[in-house]
Amino acid sequence: MITVRVPLGDRSYDVLVGHGVRSELAALLPVSARRAAIVTQAGIPFSVDPGIPFEVFEIGDGEDYKSLATIESLCRGFARMGLTRSDVVIGVGGGMVTDVAGFAAASWHRGIPVVHVSTTLVGMVDAAIGGKTGVNLPVVDGVGGKNLVGAFWQPSGVLCDLDALATLPPREVRCGRGEIAKYHFLTGDDLLAMGEEERVARCVQIKADIVASDEREGGRRALLNYGHTLAHALEIATDHSLAHGEAVAIGLIYAAHLARHLGRIDDARVQQHYEVVGGAYELDTSLPPGLSADELLALMGRDKKVLGDQLTFVLDGAHGVEVVPGVSRNDALAALHSMA
Ligand code: GLY
């Protein structure tokens, strides 16, 4: 087992990574907790024992259930069981579950402790770490979007039990590899030389360091969005037939082409992106057929990182990956064409 500390002053916490770490759950709970509300989904074949009386709340599967209605229903359940501010919420599942459980915990009695038990690779290396919680706002009259309502609410601890990965469908594992591929370029670590436990723990460590330096994404935390600008556009353009991690894989390749087009990196570095994403992690690196470059550009223009007529990307360069504002639409379009 490897323990990674997320150093955030009096909100610091440990992330435990390894096979069988679910047995550490009781020890990770706040000492004040007399009862636990376990938030999970019906299809998650992973049970936990918090060592104190608990109730299980199952939420629906799919983005439609990542909603304020789900938060209301959880809070009604918490009210019925009399969950107090000194008790604890435990999220057991992937990113959707921990985002929802975290936001319910952040809102109930204005905030009670939450512990995440992450059961997916994406959750372990990204979603469960760093305190971003929230739900979607359904689009009505053109207004709404993913993760628009939420809170920064750090967990009291996170368990990444690698035993859970054996239960994942292959596509879910592929998605996790898309996020892991991202970490290769954030620090230059040779993650491929590591075994599974060490690799997951190293990704957690990289994320913990970034979150510790910029908890509320005033700057550096945006580096975690490497590959995500095109990825978000691809998810929307394909009506989510491309899953997030698959889209991030293609987004990383696009970011490399854009950095090359802007003279920030050379061909060899672009090739390294292909070797990691397509070679080592065996992920698709090409744009799905039938998508129009103009539509993708328009969708990227709707991304949160837009400034006027210019786009902001996270791009590789001589000083490593950094936030690059002021990218023109022509350059963004040219990189899409050079990728195709
Ligand atoms: N998933 C990106 C972040 O936590 O900031």
The pLDDT tens digits for 107-135 are 999 999 999 999 999 999 999 999 999 99
- Tokens 């690779």 correspond to 121
Question: How much distance in Å is there from the Cα of 73 to the middle of ligand 1?
Answer: 26
Residue 66 annotated as catalytic: no
Residue 144's pLDDT is: 79
Q: Which two tokens stand for residue 303?
A: 């991304």
Rounded Cα–Cα distance for residues 24 and 26 (Å): 6
Neighbours of 11 (CB within 10 A): 14
**pTM metric for this prediction:** 0.94
pLDDT (0 to 100) of residue 306? 52
Contact 121, 178 (CB under 8 A): no
Give residue-wise pLDDT tens across range 131-183: 999 999 988 887 878 899 999 999 999 999 999 999 899 999 999 999 999 99
Count of CA atoms in the C-beta half-sphere (13 A) of 253: 25
pLDDT of residue 303: 59
Question: 172 vs 107, 198, 286, CA distance in Å?
Answer: 29, 20, 19
Q: Are strands 132-140 and 114-118 parallel, antiparallel or unpaired?
A: unpaired
Rounded Cα distance between 266 and 259, Å, is: 8
Under-70 pLDDT residues of the chain:
303-308
Which domains does the chain possess?
2-206 (3.40.50.1970), 226-339 (1.20.1090.10)
Atom of ligand 1 nearest to the CA of 210: 5
What is the per-residue burial (b if ≥16 Cβ within 10 Å, else e) of 284-323? Answer: bbebeeebebeebbebbeebebeeeeebbbbbbeeeebbb
Residue that the structure tokens 């195709």 belong to: 340
Q: Best substitution site from 8, 203, 215, 217 to test ligand 1's pocket, by max atoms within 8 Å of Cβ?
A: 217
Mean pLDDT of the chain, nearest integer: 95
- Cβ–ligand 1 distance for 18 under 6 Å, the answer no
Q: How far is CA 168 from CA 46, 174, 198, 235, 258, in A?
A: 11, 10, 19, 21, 33
Q: How many residues does the chain have?
A: 340
Q: Which atom of ligand 1 is nearest to the CA of 221?
A: 5
Q: Are 244 and 122 within 8 A, CB to CB? A: yes
Whether 132 lines ligand 1, by a CB cut-off of 6 Å, is yes
Which one of 182, 207, 232 would you pick to mutate in the ligand 1 pocket, going by the greatest count of ligand atoms within 8 A of its CB?
Answer: 207
